[in-house]
Structure formats: C-alpha cells, structure tokens
C-alpha cells in the first residue's frame, strides 16, 4: 500500500508542478495511513456508541450517552492501537516496542479525548445546546482526532521520524 500511496502523491505533486522531497512523500504516506486507521476507528467507536444507546433505550436511563462514550472508547482504542502499531507507526528493523506499555499509553492518551473531553463536550452538545445524542459523538470526533494523532505519534509510539 505504501508504494501505491507514494505513486499517487508523486502524481498529484507533478500535476500541481510542485517539487517534493522523498521525506515529504513518506510523511504524507504516514499521515494518510493514520487517517485511514482514524476513519475506521471513528466508525467503530461511533457504531459501538450508537449500539449502546440503542441497547439502553428501553431502560430510559439519563446516563446512556456516558455509557455509549465509555463502550465506544474502550473497544475503539484497542482497534486503533492494533492498526496503528501494525500499519502506521511501524518499527525499524532491530527496534523493539513494549506493547503492554504502549497500549497503556494509548489508553491514557485516548482517555483525555475519548473519556474526559468527550463527556464534557457531550454534556455541552446534548444538555446545553440540545443537539441529538446521535450527532454529538460525531462532533467529538472532529475535535479529538488531531489531539489523538499528536499524542500517539509523540508519546504512545514514540515515532521520532515522520516516516519509516
């Protein structure tokens, strides 16, 4: 997939008559791959959030959206960690990663946006602005994604280079 993305990026830059360095192409490939993982992660998290809301709907509990956020968070972080580790922030030959520590860091990184920030924003969207419980998680995603990328790259996976 890397080769395909590199070719597409080079073609786009050639069409735009922009000179591009090899390192820039590599960085863009990594960013696109993170975006692909992020989209799938967002879809998984959103689907789990909505499924939780639907499962709790018959019980008419006031805290259903908090539960939806927690279920979506817990399982989507595992999804994201797996794919970012295998697909985006690859190790160089000879490098090792403590997966348990990296997973712990991933949960801490996502805890801020996936739990704390998401619940604060959900309260604001739903209880203050009266936005739908089905729409609020989408708004949270838009705010959380850039924060998650930075924390994953710099801390969880300790990716010092832009591309490997």
The two structure tokens encoding residue 91: 């190790």
Q: Answer yes or no: is 11 within a domain.
A: no
Q: What is the pLDDT of residue 58?
A: 98
Non-local (6+) Cβ contacts of 95 within 8 A are none
Q: Answer yes or no: is 19 within a domain.
A: no
The number of distinct structural domains making up the chain is 1
Q: Answer yes or no: is 79 within a domain.
A: yes
Percentage of the chain lying above the pLDDT 70 cut? 97
Q: What is the pLDDT of residue 164?
A: 45
| 0.85 exceeded by pTM | no
Q: Which domain holds residue 137?
A: 34-156
Q: How long is the chain? A: 164
Residue with tokens 């956020």: 69
Q: How far apart are CA 74 and CA 107, in angstroms?
A: 8
Q: Answer yes or no: is 25 within a domain.
A: no
What would the DSSP string read from start to end of 89-157?
A: SPPPTT----HHHHHHHHHHHHIIIIIIIHHHHHIIIIIIS---TTTHHHHHHHHHHHHHHHHIIIIIS
Mean per-residue pLDDT, 115-120: 89
Q: Answer yes or no: is 62 within a domain.
A: yes
Residue with tokens 């295998």: 86
Please write the tens of the pLDDT for every residue from 68-112: 999 998 999 999 999 999 999 988 888 899 999 999 999 998 888
Q: Answer yes or no: is 106 within a domain.
A: yes
Q: How far apart are CA 110 and CA 86, in angstroms?
A: 18
Q: Answer yes or no: is 5 within a domain.
A: no
Q: Answer yes or no: is 15 within a domain.
A: no
């Amino acid at each position: 997939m890397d080769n395909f993305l590199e070719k597409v990026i080079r073609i786009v830059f050639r069409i735009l008559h922009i000179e591009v360095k090899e390192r820039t192409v590599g960085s863009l490939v990594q960013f696109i791959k993170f975006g692909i993982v992020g989209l799938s992660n967002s879809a998984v998290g959103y689907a789990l959030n909505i499924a939780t809301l639907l499962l709790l709907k018959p019980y008419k509990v006031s805290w259903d959206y908090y539960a939806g956020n927690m279920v979506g968070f817990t399982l989507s972080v595992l999804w994201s960690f797996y794919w970012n580790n295998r697909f985006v922030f690859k190790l160089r030959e000879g490098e090792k990663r403590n997966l348990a520590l990296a997973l712990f860091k991933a949960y801490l990184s996502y805890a801020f946006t996936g739990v704390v920030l998401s619940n604060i924003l959900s309260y604001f969207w739903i209880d203050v602005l009266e936005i739908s419980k089905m729409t609020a998680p989408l708004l949270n995603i838009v705010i959380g994604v850039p924060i998650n990328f930075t924390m994953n790259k710099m801390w969880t996976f300790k990716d010092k280079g832009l591309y490997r």
